A and B are shown apart, each in its own frame.
Chain A
């Protein structure tokens, strides 16, 4: 185990747990827990996406040496947002393409 891997695992798991909590929050669970099979499939697919995003994010942190030295909060947030934005842009592009087919 190294520090980079440890940080990546912590961030990845936190994001995954956060999204899962949102899906299982009171507001959604009242309406959707009747479909556990779909929720399980969605959660598995989310896990794969988060793993890819966390990999990209840890590469960006590493480039700036923020594994060995602490990243300031504003910069950390901005790096993470840009990784997510990139993901969102790719997602928007692919959903437009699939609608056009």
Chain B
């Protein structure tokens, strides 16, 4: 988490009339309240902001696309317990699904190609959404492959 880029808050909470209120709620919660109460207040303040909802929808679309690819990786890993082979199985499935060749391969390649396709089909994303989705996809795939 320490290496994550730090986007501007406005981009993350949106720019509606409620955004200043949301930012103030978060600031006050962090300043004055106990951690658990602050966490509840922060989630309540951020939960229904438009960028958050858009990020969740993009995650859902990406998950639908990546699931069969991750499944191939899991199958291979369960048979071989070899991460390289699991990644290779995912690479082959990505090529099969997208019809595009990939030179090197990381989990990020699949996510990137998926986001590209979603953008082409008219789904609007943003740089902070893409960054969050890439990190979430990478964590999810690692988790399901290793059953963490």
Please indicate the chain B residues that have their CB under 8 angstroms from the CB of A22 in the complex: 9, 12-13, 26, 46
A42 vs B38: C-alpha distance in the bound complex, in angstroms?
A: 7
Please indicate the chain B residues that have their CB under 8 angstroms from the CB of A1 in the complex: 70-71, 74, 144
From A6, A19, A85, B43 is in contact (CB under 8 Å) with: A19
List the interface of chain A (C-beta within 8 A of B): 1, 3, 5-7, 9-11, 13-15, 17-29, 31-32, 35, 38-39, 41-46, 48-50, 53, 70-71, 73, 76-77, 80-81, 84-85, 87-88, 91-92, 94-95
Whole-angstrom distance between the Cβ of B22 and the nearest chain A Cβ:
9
Interface of A is mostly: helix
Instruction: Identify the interface centre among B13, B23, B30, B123: most chain A CB within 10 Å of its CB.
Output: B30
Instruction: Identify the interface centre among A44, A46, A48, A53: most chain B CB within 10 Å of its CB.
Output: A46
Whole-angstrom distance between the Cβ of A29 and the nearest chain B Cβ:
6
Indicate if B27 sits at the interface (CB-CB under 8 A).
yes
Contact B56 A11 (CB under 8 A): yes
